[in-house]
Structure 1
Amino acid sequence: MSEKLSEPNDRRVRRTRMALRAALISLLPKRGWDDLSVHEICERANVGRSTFYMHYQSKEQLLADGLGDLRKVLMVEASERRRTSPKTLPFVRGLMEHVYEQRSLFRSLIGRGSGHVVQMRFRQMVLQLVNEELSLHVDQGWERDAASNYISGALVELLGWWVDSRTLRSVEEVEQFFHNLTSTVIRRL
């Protein structure tokens, strides 16, 4: 592989990675994580397996890359919301909107039918988001760590329930419910 091709900002690299992510996103709801193969992802993205492995070591790394991008988007949105919203976890609205817009995808990511690897990666991403947000308000210590785990676990479970139950509850209702549940924990920190 040439040095130029390995640059993440190279247009060809971005295009290939976008095609691989789009393939993963389109196949997950239909196939599920455990049954999905790298071969199927490559077929859908119209790239060869060797091209896939030039960019990613595994489908887990492709998933982590996609979730990493989602995390970055949510943090940017959170910093914008932080200026206008008194809520302590401003990324939650963006995450819930994303989950709502992509319900079938998130049902396969965090619903009952998802694979353990996918759930763990998603949980790690949410934990990082909560921890980063709480670090702006609370000093490091066991209480912040415990609260971050508690809040992120509650959020992931709530989102899983929401996509599995196919409830007609709006983003606003579910977000308000979540903030009502967690506000006591956050105030005690």
Structure 2
Amino acid sequence: MQRTRRTLRDALVALILERGWEQVSVQDVCDRADVGRSTFYTHFADKEELLLSGFDEFRKVLRAQHAAAAEAGRPLGFARALLEHAHENLRLFRALIGKRSGQLVQRRFRELVLELVATDLAGLALAGPVLDGTVHYVGGAFLELLTWWLDSRSPLPPVEVEALFQRLTTPVLAAAR
């Protein structure tokens, strides 16, 4: 069962890299994975659910790395882990997060980033609308920086992009308190 799910996810990723999210159908995924449509629908309702299953695994990995960064006292520690993962999977991230991706993908990735930021900022003495506004501001800034980095093909390595994010974000967090 896990093997079939992984095979379907790998097929989807390969097709997204070749064609872009919008140009991939369930039938394309089934053909690439060499499985029948009924097998696909046994596991997933549609290609969106298939894609989101990958986000769930990605979220678990980021949470583990985020916890390690928090223990080391690095604020917004999710950033480095996410940037390094993006760097290791540049083509996929450009296809999913860049300007050519589907809105569903961008929305779900945005939700993931906001969740990570909210977890990180939970320890600050912020509450209610100030906390919510700060989470959205910082999350939006990170997403814009990530998108710029991916789309511009900037030569900056992940650690330097993370340092830039930290440098720009630190005054925002200080002002929000």
Per the normalisation by structure 2, the TM-score is 0.94
Tell whether 2:73 aligns with 1:89.
no
- Contact 1:68 1:125 (C-alpha < 8 Å) held by counterparts: no
Distance 1:138 1:44 in 2: 50
Q: Report runs of 4+ in structure 1 exceeding 2 Å deviation.
A: 136-140
Helix, strand or coil: the match of 2:35?
coil
**Which residue of the other structure, out of 110, 121, 127, is the alignment partner of 2:108?**
121
Tell whether 2:140 aligns with 1:146.
no
Q: Partner amino acid for 2:132?
A: D
What does 1:163-182 correspond to in 2, within 5 Å? 163-182=150-169
Report the CA distance shift for 1:56/1:138 in structure 2 as closer, same or farther (over 3 A). Answer: farther
The residue that corresponds to 2:61 in the other structure is: 73
Tell whether 2:131 aligns with 1:131.
no
Report the CA distance shift for 1:50/1:153 in structure 2 as closer, same or farther (over 3 A). Answer: same
Report the number of matched residues.
176
Helix, strand or coil: the match of 2:147?
helix
Structure 2 residue ranges without an equivalent (≥5): none
Question: What is the CA-CA distance between 1:139 and the residue it aligns to?
Answer: 4.4
1:43-69 CA distances to partner (integer Å, 9 max, x unpaired)? 222221111111111111111111121
The residue that corresponds to 1:55 in the other structure is: 43
- Percent identical among aligned pairs is 44
Q: CA RMSD in A?
A: 1.3
Q: Partner amino acid for 1:109?
A: L
The residue that corresponds to 1:28 in the other structure is: 16
Distance 1:139 1:91 in 2: 20
Distance 1:68 1:143 in 2: 28
Helix, strand or coil: the match of 1:181?
helix
Question: What is the CA-CA distance between 1:77 and the residue it aligns to?
Answer: 0.9
The residue that corresponds to 2:90 in the other structure is: 103
